[in-house]
Structure 1
Amino acid sequence: MKNTNILYHFFGSVNSLDYDVVFFIEKMPETIANKLALSKKLSAQLVEKYPTKTINANLAVCENGQIIQVYKGTVDELNNAILRTYHLHQQDFDNRITHVVKRDVHLKMIRCLRMLLSFISKTQYRTIVKKALKQNIHIKIETLKAIDFNTVEDFGKGSNALDFKKSMAFQLGQTLALYNQIELYTKQEIIDCFPELKPFLMRLPNTEMETIQQFVAQFIAAIKTEVPKMKVTTEL
């Protein structure tokens, strides 16, 4: 790499179609545009060394062995994901993360709710979904409840349905497991916990969305139980 002072770690599933990489920086850029530009710049510097897969980059600020700021996702999830999966990958630097942090279950559920809606924001449900994404958590939940995933086939022009199904299955499995105090960070861990999700996580063709519908129903029941306990119902 040109910037040899920039440390990075690979993390996540060993059989991902891309490289999940987090770059450790001293200070997080203030704007989304600057964060994106920096992540692209750093990714480009890794392509020559790791040309076989697309680089899926994240940025993080680390202090005293734990992550305190991230570009994408949440601090707690990325921190623990690195600790759990660092050893699964060939690494160029010693692990900077030394401390497990407590997971924020409610934040994970709020993010999962938004992501599930976002995944289908270009389907035939686009009108109600885009409106719900701007509304409070109660509207989001009721909108998700109104979606019949069995009728969703086209995720939008140029979209890969298998990728969307994989992402939905990953989020649902990870979130429902965390709700039951189990942290999962790879596709295989989710498959071991929820074998029904394997066809989606492995991007197998001709998968029936009924399974996704059932997991969505479980998620809705769980988040409805938790909403009254939430101190915050939006992503900060």
Structure 2
Amino acid sequence: MKPPIHQIFGSENSLDLDLVFFIEEMPETILEKLSLSKKLSEPITSFYPEKQINANLAVQKNGHLIQVYKGTTDELNNALFYTYQNHSQKFDNQITKILVRDIDLKFLRSTRMILSFLSKTAYRLLIKNALKGDLEEKIQALEKIDLKHIDSFGKDKNNLDSIKSIAFQLGQAISLHDGKELYTKNEIALEFPDLRKYLFREENTDFENLQQWLFNFIIILRNRSFEMKKKAEYKYEDENKI
């Protein structure tokens, strides 16, 4: 099967290969989306033998995304646009129009993701209940997390990968709140030097700085929550006319 147009995005020195396949129509079920992303990845794995491919699917119209498989439409759209030059590409940049970022949606999604990264730690019961609850329950759960008390992120998890992912979400969300869009770990490390050691998976690091930025994230999240029109994750509403 000849794969459709694809585009690599993200950090120029990423250990994995994040790419998007542009398709005409998005499958309806999660299983169908997963199956298609795997099927489309197969013909190109030989071109990137040293990389683990993280494939996504997207529908594009008039130079910007209108539907995505994983993530939010605005974040993936702008990440594709801004990080195109970071990689050797086989196709022209498929994104010619950036989207207005939905900051509340980013905080809602980052909150769920951070809790999920911690869901197999000693806080698993607290987090399991929080993930089923409303935003206030999620915030309260985050407030009870002390990263210094975490020895493992799960038997099947790489601790350094989990720590890196948490740091990445914290840096992205807080910078977006401050009016800056950051899409690579190099950009986040430059903006938040305290997070650099976590972003680059340094061994034997303490959690002091990460805990402080988690605390900062919680403060911003709680303050934003008072003005949020929606307090559960929702589909990005494009302000651009298709």
Report the TM range for the smaller structure's normalisation. over 0.9
> Where do 5+ consecutive residues of structure 2 fail to align?
235-242
CA-CA distance at 1:49 after TM superposition: 1.8
Matched AA of 2:132:
K
Match of 2:107 in 1: 109
Matched AA of 2:139:
I
Match of 1:88 among 86, 89, 93: 86
Matched AA of 2:73:
V
Match of 1:77 in 2: 75
Report the Cα distance in structure 2 between the residues aligned to 1:32 and 1:235, rounded to whole angstroms: 17
CA-CA distance at 1:221 after TM superposition: 0.4
Match of 1:31 among 29, 32, 38: 29
Structure 2 counterparts to residues 1-236 of structure 1, below 5 A:
2-4=1-3, 6-236=4-234
Report the Cα distance in structure 2 between the residues aligned to 1:116 and 1:88, rounded to whole angstroms: 26
Which stretch has the larger CA shift, 40-49 or 199-208? 40-49
CA deviations over 1:142-186 (Å, ceiling 9, x no partner): 011011111112111121100000000000001000010100000
Report the Cα distance in structure 1 between the residues aligned to 2:156 and 2:28, rounded to whole angstroms: 32
Matched AA of 2:67:
Q
What TM-score do you get using the length of structure 1 for normalisation?
Answer: 0.98
SS of equivalent residue, structure 1 residue 73: coil
Matched AA of 2:171:
G
> Where do 5+ consecutive residues of structure 1 fail to align?
none
Report the Cα distance in structure 1 between the residues aligned to 2:175 and 2:47, rounded to whole angstroms: 35
CA deviations over 1:11-53 (Å, ceiling 9, x no partner): 0001111110000000000000000001111111210122120
Matched AA of 1:132:
A
Report the Cα distance in structure 2 between the residues aligned to 1:206 and 1:131, rounded to whole angstroms: 31
Matched AA of 1:116:
I
Report the Cα distance in structure 2 between the residues aligned to 1:89 and 1:141, rounded to whole angstroms: 37
Report the Cα distance in structure 1 between the residues aligned to 2:130 and 2:200, rounded to whole angstroms: 30
Matched AA of 1:74:
T
What TM-score do you get using the length of structure 2 for normalisation?
Answer: 0.95
Matched AA of 2:194:
E
Deviating runs (4+, > 4 A) in structure 1? none
Counting matched residue pairs gives: 234
Matched AA of 1:225:
N
> Percent identity, aligned pairs only?
52
Match of 2:238 in 1: none
Report the Cα distance in structure 1 between the residues aligned to 2:216 and 2:47, rounded to whole angstroms: 43
CA-CA distance at 1:83 after TM superposition: 0.8
SS of equivalent residue, structure 1 residue 61: strand
Report the Cα distance in structure 1 between the residues aligned to 2:151 and 2:58, rounded to whole angstroms: 36
